[in-house]
């Protein structure tokens, strides 16, 4: 009877130890670190997605063309008055010179001034630089304002004309470069300058 009691107690104790050991154990990998099982995702659960980081927005386009031309003219954008004027200049720069031309396929100096005055100021001017000179009020270089005319004696009196912008710069149709911005301080134009003009 005593032997049976001892055996029963021994078996019960052994069984209890086995149960406790199996409940608290963790499966270990070959390296001895615990290995945990990741619960499987149920079929109805959508996979987790990560939102890509937001990239820096691209710089906004120039909203006012005056901010493009101010550095080229050496002034602040606020000193340039007419957005329409600088938009016109921007769209015509580089148009080739063509004697007698009046459009984007080729233009001469008076043809360019005529197109600019029609589009920007809604004014018609005569076809030739000499006629424009005769019909404009002559002013000195120090009186020039944005949109005024500048005349040059290159192949005769008032044989070349351009439109004043700012800080001694003017836009015109050059025989060698087409529509371009030049400076009155350039020795060539400084010497050839005749007068300013205002319509």
Q: Walk along the chain (199 residues) and give the pLDDT tens digit of each residue.
A: 445 454 545 545 554 444 444 444 444 444 444 444 545 555 555 555 555 555 444 444 446 899 999 999 999 999 999 999 999 999 999 999 999 999 999 999 999 999 999 999 999 999 999 999 999 999 999 999 999 999 999 999 999 999 999 999 999 999 999 999 999 999 999 999 999 999 9
The predicted pLDDT at position 157 comes to 94
CATH topology of domain 66-198: endopeptidase fold (from Nostoc punctiforme) (3.90.1720)
Residue 159's CB is within 10 A of a number of other CB atoms, namely: 18
d(CA 176, CA 164): 19
Residue 50's CB is within 10 A of a number of other CB atoms, namely: 5
The domain ranges of the chain are 66-198
The predicted pLDDT at position 63 comes to 63
The predicted pLDDT at position 34 comes to 46
The predicted pLDDT at position 179 comes to 98
Specify whether 109 is catalytic: yes
Contact by Cβ (8 Å): 160, 154: yes
Residue with tokens 């987790």: 48
The predicted pLDDT at position 181 comes to 98
Report the SS3 class of residue 173. strand
The predicted pLDDT at position 49 comes to 52
Specify whether 35 is catalytic: no
Q: Which of 11, 23, 160, 169 is catalytic?
A: 160
Specify whether 169 is catalytic: no
The predicted pLDDT at position 30 comes to 44
Tokens of 101: 């031309």
Q: Which of 11, 35, 109, 169 is catalytic?
A: 109
Backbone angles phi, psi at 195, to 5 degrees: -170, 165
């Amino acid at each position: 009877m005593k032997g049976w009691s001892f055996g029963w107690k021994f078996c019960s104790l052994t069984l209890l130890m086995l149960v406790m050991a199996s409940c608290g154990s963790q499966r270990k990998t070959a390296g001895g670190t615990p290995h945990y099982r990741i619960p499987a995702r149920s079929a109805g659960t959508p996979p987790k997605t990560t939102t890509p980081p937001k990239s820096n927005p691209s710089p906004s386009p120039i909203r006012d063309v005056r901010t493009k031309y101010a550095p080229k003219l050496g002034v602040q954008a606020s000193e340039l008055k007419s957005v329409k004027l600088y938009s016109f200049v921007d769209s015509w720069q580089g148009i080739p010179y063509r004697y007698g031309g009046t459009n984007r396929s080729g233009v001469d100096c008076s043809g360019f001034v005529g197109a600019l005055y029609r589009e920007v100021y809604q004014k018609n001017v005569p076809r030739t630089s000499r006629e424009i000179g005769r019909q404009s009020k002559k002013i000195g270089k120090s009186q020039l304002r944005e949109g005024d005319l500048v005349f040059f004696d290159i192949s005769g009196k008032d044989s070349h004309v351009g439109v004043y912008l700012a800080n001694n710069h003017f836009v015109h149709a050059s025989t060698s470069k087409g529509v371009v911005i030049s400076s009155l301080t350039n020795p060539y134009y400084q010497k050839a300058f005749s007068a300013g003009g205002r319509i």
